[in-house]
Structure 1
Amino acid sequence: MILRSALLYAALLLGANIAHADMADIAALRDGDMKKLMFHEAAKPAGTANFETPEGEVHTLEDYRGKVVLLNFWATWCAPCREEMPYLDALQAEFGGDDFEVVPVATGRNRVAGVKKFFGEVGVENLPILLDPKQALAREMGVMAMPVTVLLDREGNEIARLMGDAHWASDSAKAIVSALIADGGGS
């Protein structure tokens, strides 16, 4: 098992196409902080509640259908979020596009000015400001503390969850994201 995982991890780092890897192979890529990422035995429906931009543009997770999504619930007052957000920004910079998106949703009372200040202080340049002021999406998805990160497949289903902060720009996180993109997002 260890040799198989090492070979898959090496293949991902070298850019090999593993279009038919299964979730067990992808889960085997977890190392360091990524060991907290728990893959579900079966995909679960994600929330349907609205969240919005500072300009009031309404979004749902359905807007991201067709992409692998890393949905992050966070808040400006959350110290671990301050550590984690630059890693999420780096992951978006490297992988963001037609196949993958980091969706950071500021949950609860997070004033737009505070979010902008937070992003400026930690150096976020590649992530949008998205708000869930009444915690509707967070409640629907069972988020009890922050940060919580949820991976969604291309069909918008939850396939994994990580509670707490993590180094999302680590080699392990990048290998997992690469594998999910290559695999079609676990669909």
Structure 2
Amino acid sequence: MKRFLLALIYTGAVMLANPASADISAAAALRDGDMKKLNFHSEPKPAGTAEFQTFDGAPLTLADYAGKYVLVNFWATWCAPCREEMPQLAELQDLLGGDRFEVVTIATGRNPPPAMKAFFAEIGVTSLPLNRDPKSLLSREMGVLGLPITVILNPEGQEIARLQGDADWASDSAQAVLSSLLETM
């Protein structure tokens, strides 16, 4: 019992000393359903620095999104779970997107631009960007193995969470987790 109380006091002191840990702990506690697959890191990790590009070929990096929480989704036109998940990501962007949060989609590998455009048209997604990583430089740098992979970046541009596989990003749990993070800004 004494050890439990000491551990509880230590955990509380750590959270008070490091508000970011408390914020992440609060968000992690709200995970339910598919969001249980969302793994928050004990410490933020560096995000990839490799360039990717807009649909039209303009260069981008994840640093371009500094100052807001960013949900980065790596996908491909041939990925069946991506087809299910993408409309939910669009709904999440419609609900929470703005100055403090953004959903960034990145088609990784060989995804011809016409096929990307057709993919979004077929599933009725209009509010998400058609970014691409044709040589998989960013996805390799970030250890993306399999698709879809979704990472959450904090406003400092560090990876704080990762979910492998698809999830219902329009669920109440997903919205609660992300809203909890946004409350800290």
Q: TM-score range by the shorter chain?
A: 0.7 to 0.9
Q: Please, what TM-score do these two structures have when normalized by structure 1? A: 0.86
Q: Write the letter of the residue equivalent to 2:121.
A: G
Given the alignment of the two structures, is residue 64 of structure 1 paired with residue 95 of structure 2, yes or no?
no
Q: Is residue 85–residue 169 contact of structure 2 (8 Å, CA) maintained in 1? A: yes
For residue 179 of structure 1, what is the aligned residue in structure 2?
Answer: 180
| Offset of residue 22 of structure 1 | 2.3
For residue 90 of structure 1, what is the aligned residue in structure 2?
Answer: 91
> In 2, Cα distance between the equivalents of 1:21 and 1:173?
18
User: 1:22 is paired with a residue of what secondary structure?
Assistant: helix
User: 2:25 is paired with a residue of what secondary structure?
Assistant: helix
How is 1:1-187 mapped onto 2 (pairs within 5 angstroms)?
22-184=23-185
| Offset of residue 54 of structure 1 | 2.1
Q: Write the letter of the residue equivalent to 1:152.
A: L
| Offset of residue 21 of structure 1 | 5.1
Q: Write the letter of the residue equivalent to 1:84.
A: E
- Runs of 4+ residues over 6 Å off in structure 1: none
User: 1:118 is paired with a residue of what secondary structure?
Assistant: helix
User: 1:173 is paired with a residue of what secondary structure?
Assistant: helix
Deviations 1:86-123 (A, max 9, x none): 00000001111100000000000001110111001111
| Offset of residue 177 of structure 1 | 1.0
> In 2, Cα distance between the equivalents of 1:59 and 1:107?
14
RMSD: 1.3
> In 2, Cα distance between the equivalents of 1:94 and 1:145?
27
Q: Write the letter of the residue equivalent to 1:33.
A: D
> In 2, Cα distance between the equivalents of 1:24 and 1:179?
10
Tell me the matched-pair count: 166
> In 1, Cα distance between the equivalents of 2:182 and 2:129?
21
User: 1:69 is paired with a residue of what secondary structure?
Assistant: strand
Structure with greater Cα Rg: 2
Q: Is residue 23–residue 180 contact of structure 2 (8 Å, CA) maintained in 1? A: no
For residue 3 of structure 1, what is the aligned residue in structure 2?
Answer: none
Q: Is residue 93–residue 102 contact of structure 2 (8 Å, CA) maintained in 1? A: yes
Q: Gaps spanning 5+ residues in structure 1: where?
A: 1-18
> In 1, Cα distance between the equivalents of 2:117 and 2:140?
24
Q: Gaps spanning 5+ residues in structure 2: where?
A: 1-19
Identity %: 62
| Offset of residue 160 of structure 1 | 0.3
Q: Please, what TM-score do these two structures have when normalized by structure 2? A: 0.87
Q: Write the letter of the residue equivalent to 2:160.
A: I
